[in-house]
Amino acid sequence: MNDLKQKIEMAFDSIDINIPEDNRMIINISKDGVISILSYLKNAGYEHLALISCVDLINENEFELVYIVSAYMKRDDEFHDREKQNIIIKTRISRKKTRFMTVINIFENAEPYEREIYELFGINFQGHPRLKPLFLEIEYEMPPFRKNFDTRKFVDDMFGNIPEIEGH
Amino acid sequence: MDRNKLIKWIKTPAKMGNKYSLHAVYFCTGCGIIEIPPTITTRWDAERFGVTPAATPRQANLFLITGYVSLKTLKSIIRTYEQMPEPKYTVGFGSCPINGGMYWDSYNTIKHLDKYIPVDGWIAGCMPRPEAIFIAVTHLWKMIDNDMADGYKKYRNNYDQYRANQEKVLGSLDWPPLFK
Amino acid sequence: MHISEIILSPLLALIVGVFFLGLSRKIMARIHWRYGPPITQPVIDIIRMFSQKSVSHGNLFNFGIIFSIAGSIAVVLFIPFGRIHPLSNSGGLLVILYIMLLAPLGIALSSGEAANPNSSIGISRKLLLTLGYEFSLLLILLALMTHYRTISITEIVALQQKGSWSLFRLPLVLPGIAYILILPAILGVRPFEISKAPQEISSGPMVEYGGTYLALAKIEHAFAIVIGISLFVNLFLGGANNLAFFFLKVLLVFILGIFINAVFPRLRTEQAIKYLFGIPAFLAFLGLVITVLI
């Protein structure tokens, strides 16, 4: 793990890496470096994009995008150290300008994750081939997973005034 | 078979047939579907009550909704319910279809299923045990006997209200009204 | 030939077929270590289905299912049940070969009208399966007709009553084995359940049937079971002199079929066709050649 840390620190500047526990590495990077670090890790053998997630940090007025990559098991009879490791890449984007670039060119399975984040957080992934709703049936004024989406008020407006059926 | 039952069979064969041959559409939403496989297979054997899974809604007369109903599944539920031939019975399974359950404040989950389609009976619990399904089936038998399981008639009589409620949450529905 | 026999024969086939449906569900349940439904469950189902409102999908949809039942009844009239043989003196095997196709054809016409993709897949699979076993069946029947020098089933039964069953006559052993091998395909039970396949294509041709139509389709299925087995019993197991003995034989073959149904998983379409054109067709052909040479 430490070898990898050194290698990454050699290759990239303005990067913050810490290793909170064994086999887990957290990389904080500015939003311009995401593509390059993902392709660097893919070339280093971490070929599996496990997840893309998003956190709405409303107090800091930023979204945090989280990419988790890991390595596939290559051989049945012996472990490579790499195969136990998870690498978490975090980046921040502004809440005002909700635009980011897609990583489909590197990891093809990013497509549904990016669609989901587009739908629930409203982040527009530039270059995504079909950025349209995935789960939700109806359109919302504001993407429903944002912290300033008032769920109670929405539920009251939407479902609160549906009348009971009278008569039988 | 005792004499009373025989007389009932001769007097009202349709009602008795509906009682003892409940072919169910298990609508697999949420966690309730976990309870269904043990119910219809060896451990609890629903077939001795005449309850069997039906392959399509056209062949079924019992609609078992097993879990929370999101807006997308509500659309499918309405379509499935309208395809089933009358008489048909609906049973809500678990607390989520009854009043939203733990999804009370969810932006995407409806709270009261009986505002959109008629529901003849509820099984409360989170989750109910498979035995509860059999209790529900025997209750349904009593209700069919006393003509109380008349949800499909209610749907027919108040179709305007039901359709209005459905359109209120789903926007415009892309199929024509069932009853004019 | 009496008019009473013409009424009695289809009625008998219907009762036995519906009883078999119930019995199969009970036996399947017992094989699964379940208690199972009451043996009258298919009757209850059929009463329930007739009482339900049903949705029609056009004239051909209504006509096809009735056509299919009529075809089944016509076949039943040509098959002797013990001493009851309303029309089997005339026509014989050739007629049966022709009108046995009416029932699947009727179902195909009817469910094709429903315009459901699942039913189209089901029909094509059903007709493909029919094509698969019909070839072997034709060879088997040719061998039989050559051996006995007659096309009448009653005469074949009478000849077997005098001597031994066809299954144990030397030149007919191979066609008999071939017939046993294709019997599950004729009945449409589990290894060859490809046209129904409830888990895969939602009961295939019956996907749009509800209410009355489903009840009629169930009745047609009951007829099909009785026809498939009683033809085998008549041709290879010696038929019978009286009704009870005949249906006992049919019952035994049917229970064997249920066991096969319970044990085997479903084949894919191409596997089924490959199987049907493989060993059974070869055995039937070999049997025909031997019969002709002897």
Q: Is the pLDDT of residue A168 over 70?
A: no
Say if the Cβ atoms of A149 and B171 lie within 8 Å.
no
Work out the pLDDT band at A66, boundaries 50, 70, 90: very high
CB-based contacts of A46, cutoff 8 Å, min separation 6: A69, A70, A71, A82, A85, A87
pLDDT > 70 fraction of chain B, expressed in percent and rounded: 99
Please compute the mean of the pLDDT values over residues A60-67 and round it to a whole number.
Answer: 90
d(CA C120, CA C117): 5
* pLDDT-wise least confident of A46-50, B69-73, C196-200: C196-200
Tokens encoding C159: 């000849």
Tokens encoding C199: 């888990």
Q: Does C206 touch chain B (CB under 8 A)?
A: yes
What pLDDT, on a 0 to 100 scale, did the predictor assign at position A153? Answer: 87
Q: Does C53 touch chain B (CB under 8 A)?
A: yes
Q: What residues are paired with A27 via a beta bridge?
A: A17, A89
Please compute the mean of the pLDDT values over residues A103-109 and round it to a whole number.
Answer: 87
What pLDDT, on a 0 to 100 scale, did the predictor assign at position B101? Answer: 82
Structural contact between residues C267 and C193, judged by C-beta atoms closer than 8 angstroms: no
Write the residue in A138, A155, A168 that is nearest to B154 by C-beta.
A168
Tokens encoding A66: 């989280």
CB-based contacts of B152, cutoff 8 Å, min separation 6: B86, B87, B88, B89, B118
d(CA A46, CA A55): 23
User: Which residues in chain A have Cβ-Cβ distances shorter than 8 Å to B170?
Assistant: 137-138
Whole-model pTM?
Answer: 0.84
Best residue of C44, C111, C207, C213 to probe chain B, by most B CBs closer than 10 Å:
C44
Helix (H) and strand (E) counts in chain A: 4, 7
- The whole-chain average pLDDT of chain B stands at 86
d(CA C152, CA C78): 10
pLDDT in tens, C265-286: 888 888 888 888 988 888 888 8
Say if the Cβ atoms of A163 and B154 lie within 8 Å.
no
Q: How far is CA C145 from the centre of its chain?
A: 20
pLDDT in tens, B43-76: 888 888 888 888 888 888 889 888 888 888 888 8
* Cβ count within 10 A of residue C164: 11
Q: Which CA distances in Å does A39 have to A48, A73, A89, A141, B152?
A: 12, 19, 12, 36, 59
Say if the Cβ atoms of C210 and B14 lie within 8 Å.
no
d(CA C133, CA C228): 12
* Architecture of the domain spanning A2-160: 2-Layer Sandwich (3.30)
CB-based contacts of B172, cutoff 8 Å, min separation 6: none
Q: Does B5 touch chain A (CB under 8 A)?
A: no
Say if the Cβ atoms of C51 and B14 lie within 8 Å.
yes
What pLDDT, on a 0 to 100 scale, did the predictor assign at position C88? Answer: 67
Q: Which CA distances in Å does B54 have to A80, B62, B151, B178, C170?
A: 50, 9, 20, 22, 47
Task: Tell me the shortest Cα–Cα distance from C99 to chain B, in angstroms.
Answer: 29
The total number of structural domains in chain C stands at 1
With touching defined as 3 or more inter-chain CB pairs under 8 Å, the answer for chains B and C is: yes
Domain ranges of chain B: 21-170
User: Which residues in chain C have Cβ-Cβ distances shorter than 8 Å to B56?
Assistant: 202-203, 207-208
Work out the pLDDT band at C211, boundaries 50, 70, 90: confident
pLDDT in tens, A142-161: 888 888 888 888 888 888 88
- Relative to beta strand B52-53, strand B62-66 is unpaired
User: Which residues in chain B have Cβ-Cβ distances shorter than 8 Å to A166?
Assistant: 158, 161
Please compute the mean of the pLDDT values over residues C143-159 and round it to a whole number.
Answer: 82
- The whole-chain average pLDDT of chain A stands at 85
Domain ranges of chain A: 2-160
Say if the Cβ atoms of B169 and A151 lie within 8 Å.
no
Say if the Cβ atoms of B21 and C47 lie within 8 Å.
yes
Q: Is the Cα dihedral C143, C148, C150, C156 positive or negative?
A: negative
pLDDT in tens, A125-134: 888 888 888 8
Q: Is the pLDDT of residue C1 over 60?
A: no
Domain that holds residue C204: 3-293
Task: Tell me the shortest Cα–Cα distance from A129 to chain B, in angstroms.
Answer: 24
Work out the pLDDT band at B1, boundaries 50, 70, 90: low
* pLDDT-wise least confident of B74-83, B100-109, C120-129, C154-163: C154-163
CATH fold for the domain made of B21-170: Rossmann fold (3.40.50)
